[in-house]
Amino acid sequence: MSHRLQEKVAVITGASKGLGAAIAKRFGAEGASVVVNYASSKGAADDVVNEIVKAGGNAIAIKANMSDPAEVEQLFAQANQAYGRVDVLVNNAGVYDFQPIETLTLDFFRKHFELNVFGYMLAIKEAVKYMPIGGSIINMSSTVTLFGPENASVYSATKGAIDGLTRALSNELAPLKIRVNAIKPGVVATEGVQAGGFLESEFGRETTAKTPLRRLGVPDDIAPAVVYLASDESSWTTGEFMVLAGGHR
């Protein structure tokens, strides 16, 4: 069986749980050497690494707060030290907190933009230093930019920013043959979403009802598309947005 990411080195941010963990495991199964980044959940990150290694794959965990320039620099230097380059970056680390506009504060705004936007740009800036020709960057965006949920203006604004930087950097990095694409998942049932009580809430029920395929997503609905964008199969695809949301708009 041929592995679609054989000999590729991939850094996946926020990969200790949820969507990031599912992507990391899928990448490991497809033959990539995986750097599992985490901010605080060392145990969870080690579990992901162990699962990949047990299945015959190659992985290490590296701690870094993705909004801290020194830590991000260190993350990619260590990845390069371990594997000799970085072929793929999956920008997945993020924060979301739903609040109405009345409660907006500068701190709340900064918390979201520093990780969700500045963090993505920082990671790209550092990854490109170690990326050979033909590298691939995949940014996790969201369908919130399409359906605009209430009380999520700040989070939605960060994802709109991701769409803008994806398009602009796809042009800027094209001379290096580095592709930049984004995935826009719908509501995916991850640990974080479940812990937030979204699934049992009216929001979860309403979203399911408005989704033509009548269910919320699971991480394994998203991971194969990330593999495709990381692989050479998508070598003529850049600056694109892939919507995976069961038809929900």
Query: Could you tell me the domains of the chain?
Result: 9-242 (3.40.50.720)
Q: Which residues are catalytic?
A: 155
d(CA 195, CA 166): 30
Sheet holding 9-12, edge to edge: 58-63, 33-38, 9-12, 88-91, 136-140, 179-185, 241-244
d(CA 166, CA 241): 9
> What is the arithmetic mean of pLDDT over 165-193?
92
Q: Model-level pTM?
A: 0.95
> What is the arithmetic mean of pLDDT over 41-66?
98
> What is the arithmetic mean of pLDDT over 206-228?
93
Amino acid 31: pLDDT = 98
